[in-house]
Structures are given as structure tokens and as C-alpha cells.
């Protein structure tokens, strides 16, 4: 780290006492917004709440030092929990911890190789489909908790939603999800009723997390089980963290180091796996709240992580009595706020191909319950549609110079694997003109498929005794031709 980078890193931690106080207070408020969502997502993943809380504590501390986006809150929540649920259901917690370690390693490698640039290939339509599918999966995960229950549960969920949406109209000093938890817990204690509570979901943390390797054989069979889930967890975690970092960049009008954020997230998840936690990622809602409450530096991220466990251990008896209905209400709110409702309106305004990409991403993700597959399909469709659009812009105008008996071919646009066949079909190989001139001044050859198409056209014309001249190659195209089709550059042409 050079002097300039070190100076910038110090500034990200501390600028003034006022800034430090603001970061600590914002981080503490962010913790209260973090607790209910972490517990709720632990419930979605099918793990004990302490697994998610331990992970969020460790992730918060590590990412504060190693991350690339100050003021960003990361924890064991979001799309990663949805991916983890299938692994936990099929193989149990220990395999999830192993998958968390592997996902962390993959993210570290991703960051070190600067592969964050690949995120540029994720179009807006794919990102919109990603968040919409995430919202649908979050909501669908709550449905089982609303089936076969007493009317008390429905009443509690309805009251919880009313509190979540109405309290902010009165005050925003305390996060409404936290008020929802406190009120519904107080009601369930004061008026005992047949509803499930957090204690029924599993253990809550009673102490600090301890170091322990996953208790399973480190064999090839284990790797084949965890690898697909680890890749999916790493991919969706990176995507959600990159999206969250971009949101903070826009809010603060600053830039983040996406590669460093990837590496930092990998280190945080690897550490979480070693201390009995699930992998996590950037949390959009908590991060936006942290920034709006005044958090700007790494200290706010650290405060959120540390304060999480400081609050959770002494409040454990109370947290255990929180009704599951409160968590369901919070997750319904999260799904509603996550869904991009404007995208439904945009379906009529935006190009149809953008709508197809977004809907395909949503459909594949919901059907497979795998966010990484949905994103991969969306990116693939975006590439195919883009290639098709660029192909349509390629044209070959044909003219004839009677004085010199020369057929003139004026090529415009991009010639590459998708347009090479169309390019070749535009040439009349049975032409009666004795000369041909191919002008590439307004064209560009992108790959060996394009060079091969040009070479085939020229060689076939030669066999028909047509003298061919190729002109207007730009520097990049000429280099490609010299390397793969040097005969095209001979003076005889």
C-alpha cells in the first residue's frame, strides 16, 4: 500500500471526532435494523439464529478492515440464505460451513484477479430481474409459515405489517421493524397464544463465537456436494455486494474499490465459516439506512458488527420470545421493498428485448430457486440480443464502375462471428466484372471468424479470375489480417 493509499485508508477510518461519533451512532442504529433481518433470513435458510448472528458479527468486523466500500453493512442475509437453504435441507449445517469456506476462497480469487470487471456484463435488465426474483423467493419462503396456523398468527402478521408501514409516518428515530418486534413480543408475553417463537427455530448466541473447522470428511465426495452451492453462494453474494456498493457510490458521490470489496467479502466469509457462521453479502436496506443516519466511514461498519453481539448476548432471553409472525411480517416488507415495481411499468416503455431478459431472469430463478442460474441466463440472453442488434447494423453497399469494369463493395459496421455469414452472402462470386474492390474504411473486423469470411470471399473471387483489392483496413483489423490471413495483404490484391 503506497503513501497515498495509506492516507486514504486512514481517512476512511477517522476524519474528526464529530465524524467518528456520527459513524458509531449510525452503526448502532444499523445494528437494530440488522438483527431482525438476520434472524429472519436464518429462519429462511433453515439454520439456528445464532449461526446467522455469529456470521454477521464476524463479517462486520472483517469487512470493516478489508472491504473496498466504507459505510457498507454486510451480514448473513439476502440472496445467499436462499441458496444455502437447499444445502442445509439436503446435507445439514456442517456442509454449509464447508461451502461457506469454499465460497470465501472463490471470492478472494475473484477479487485478486480483478474479475469485478465482469460485473459490467450484467445489464440493468438482468439486475432488475435479479432483485425481482429475490423478492419473489423471499416472499415464497414465508408461505409455509402462514399455512396450517391459528388465526392468532395471521392477526400478528397483519399488526406487524401495520406497525412497519405506519410508524415511519410518525417517527424514523427507531427502525419500524425493531418496533414491530418489541410490540408483538410484548403482546405474545402479556397475552399467551398459540404462536411459534424464535426459540422454536433454534439456538441463540449465549457467548462469543469460537473457532472450529467443519466436522466432516475433507474428501472428493464432500467437494462435489458443496462445490455447486459454494459457486452459487459466491456468485450471488458478489453480485448483491457489487450492487449495494454501487448504491452507496451514488448516495455519497464517491467511488468504491470493487475488486477490494470482492476480496474483503471473501475474507469475511472465510472467517465466518471458521467461526460457525453462514456466508453473507452486502445488505442494501441496512447500508442505505446507515448512510442516511450519517455513516460515512469504516467505523460505522465496525460498530454495526461489534454492537450486534454486544446487544444479542444480554438480550438473549427476550429475543427467544419474539414471535415468528414478527419475522414473517418483516420479510414480507423486505420482499415488497426489494421488488422493483417500476419495472412493471417499464415493460411497456422499454425495448421488448429488455423486458424479455428481465422476465427470463425472473422465471429461471424462481423455477430453479438458484439466483446464479437466473443471472447466467439473463447475461447470456443480453449477449445474444446485443449481438443480433449489432449484426443488423452491418451492411455492404454494392456499386459498379463501368469505366474500369470494377464492382465496388462498401462495407459498413461490425464484422464478427454473428455477422460474418451475412457479410459473405453480400458478395456475388459469379460476377461478370473482372475487378472488385472491397472498401473496409467504415468497418471493423473483430475476430478470426470475420477474417476467415473475408479470406473465403477473396479466394473464391480469385478462382473466378476476378482481381480483388482490399482497402481501408484500420490498424486493429490489419493486425488481425496479417496474423491470420497474410495472403490478403499481398500486393497482388
User: Residue 134 and residue 334: Cα distance in Å, rounded?
Assistant: 10
Residue 493 burial (10 A CB sphere; 0-12, 13-18, 19+): middle
> Which three cell numbers, joined as nine digits, stand for 7?
492516507
> Which three cell numbers, joined as nine digits, stand for 1?
500500500
User: Residue 420 and residue 391: Cα distance in Å, rounded?
Assistant: 9
Residue 117: pLDDT band (50, 70, 90) is confident
Q: What is the pTM of this model?
A: 0.73
* pLDDT, position 11: 83
pLDDT tens for residues 163-174? 989 988 988 777
Residue 492: pLDDT band (50, 70, 90) is very low
User: Residue 168 and residue 164: Cα distance in Å, rounded?
Assistant: 7
Residue with cell 410508524: 167
* pLDDT, position 182: 87
Residue 83: pLDDT band (50, 70, 90) is confident
Q: Give me the percent of the chain exceeding a pLDDT of 70.
A: 96
CA-to-CA separations, 347 to 341, 354, 379, in angstroms, rounded: 11, 8, 18
Residue 35 has pLDDT above 80, yes or no: no
Q: What is the mean pLDDT of residues 259-265?
A: 93
Ranges assigned E (strand) in 376-466: 395-401, 406-415, 435-445
Residue 199 or 238, more confident: 238
Q: Where are the alpha helices (DSSP H) in 14-150?
A: 17-45, 49-66, 79-91, 93-112, 124-142
Residue 1 has pLDDT above 60, yes or no: no
User: Residue 108 and residue 113: Cα distance in Å, rounded?
Assistant: 9
Residue 206 burial (10 A CB sphere; 0-12, 13-18, 19+): exposed
284-292 vs 17-45: helix axis angle to the nearest 10? Answer: 160
User: Residue 294 and residue 25: Cα distance in Å, rounded?
Assistant: 8
Amino acid at each position: 500500500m503506497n503513501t497515498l493509499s495509506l492516507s486514504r485508508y486512514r481517512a476512511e477510518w477517522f476524519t474528526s471526532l464529530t465524524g467518528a461519533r456520527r459513524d458509531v451512532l449510525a452503526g448502532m442504529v444499523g445494528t437494530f435494523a440488522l438483527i431482525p433481518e438476520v434472524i429472519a433470513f436464518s429462519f429462511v435458510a433453515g439454520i439456528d439464529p445464532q449461526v446467522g448472528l455469529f456470521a454477521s458479527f464476524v463479517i462486520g468486523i472483517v469487512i470493516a478492515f478489508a472491504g473496498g466500500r466504507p459505510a457498507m453493512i454486510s451480514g448473513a442475509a439476502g440472496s445467499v440464505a436462499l441458496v444455502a437453504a437447499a444445502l442445509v435441507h439436503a446435507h445439514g449445517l456442517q456442509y454449509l460451513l464447508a461451502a461457506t469456506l469454499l465460497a470465501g476462497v472463490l471470492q478472494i480469487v475473484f477479487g485478486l484477479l480483478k474479475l469485478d470487471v465482469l460485473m459490467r456484463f450484467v445489464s440493468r435488465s438482468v439486475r432488475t430481474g435479479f432483485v425481482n426474483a429475490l423478492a419473489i423467493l423471499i416472499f415464497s419462503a414465508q408461505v409455509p409459515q402462514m399455512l396450517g396456523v391459528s388465526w392468532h398468527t395471521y392477526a400478528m402478521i397483519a399488526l406487524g405489517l401495520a406497525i412497519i408501514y405506519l410508524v415511519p409516518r410518525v417517527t424514523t428515530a427507531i427502525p419500524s421493524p425493531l418496533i414491530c418486534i418489541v410490540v408483538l413480543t410484548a403482546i405474545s408475553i402479556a397475552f399467551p397464544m398459540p404462536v411459534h417463537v424464535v426459540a422454536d427455530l433454534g439456538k441463540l448466541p449465549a457467548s462469543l463465537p469460537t473457532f472450529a473447522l467443519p466436522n466432516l470428511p475433507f474428501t472428493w465426495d464432500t467437494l462435489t456436494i458443496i462445490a455447486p452451492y459454494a459457486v452459487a453462494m459466491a456468485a450471488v453474494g458478489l453480485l448483491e455486494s457489487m450492487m449495494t456498493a454501487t448504491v452507496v457510490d451514488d448516495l455519497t458521490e464517491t467511488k468504491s474499490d470493487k475488486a477490494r470489496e470482492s476480496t474483503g467479502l471473501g475474507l469475511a466469509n472465510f472467517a465466518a465459516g471458521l467461526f460457525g457462521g453462514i456466508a453473507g453479502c452486502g445488505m442494501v436496506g441496512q447500508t442505505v439506512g446507515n448512510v442516511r443516519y450519517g455513516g460515512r466511514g469504516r467505523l460505522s461498519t465496525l460498530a454495526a458488527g461489534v454492537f450486534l453481539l454486544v446487544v444479542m448476548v444480554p438480550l438473549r432471553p427476550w429475543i427467544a420470545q419474539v414471535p415468528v409472525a414478527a419475522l414473517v411480517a418483516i420479510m414480507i416488507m423486505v420482499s415488497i421493498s426489494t421488488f422493483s415495481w417500476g419495472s412493471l411499468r417499464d415493460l411497456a416503455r422499454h425495448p421488448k428485448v429488455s423486458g424479455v431478459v428481465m422476465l427470463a431472469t425472473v422465471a429461471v430463478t424462481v423455477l430453479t430457486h438458484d439466483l446464479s442460474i437466473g443471472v447466467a441466463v439473463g447475461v447470456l440472453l443480453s449477449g445474444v440480443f446485443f449481438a443480433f442488434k449489432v449484426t443488423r447494423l452491418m451492411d455492404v453497399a454494392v456499386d459498379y464502375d463501368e469505366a474500369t469494369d470494377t464492382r465496388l463493395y462498401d462495407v459498413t459496421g461490425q464484422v464478427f462471428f454473428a455477422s460474418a455469414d451475412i457479410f459473405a452472402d453480400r458478395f456475388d462470386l459469379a460476377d461478370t466484372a473482372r475487378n472488385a474492390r472491397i472498401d473496409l474504411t467504415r468497418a471493423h473486423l473483430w475476430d478470426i471468424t470475420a477474417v476467415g469470411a473475408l479470406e473465403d470471399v477473396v479466394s473464391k473471387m480469385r478462382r473466378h479470375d476476378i482481381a480483388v483489392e482490399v482497402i481501408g483496413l484500420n490498424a486493429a483489423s490489419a493486425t488481425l489480417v496479417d496474423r491470420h490471413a497474410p495472403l490478403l495483404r499481398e500486393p497482388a490484391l
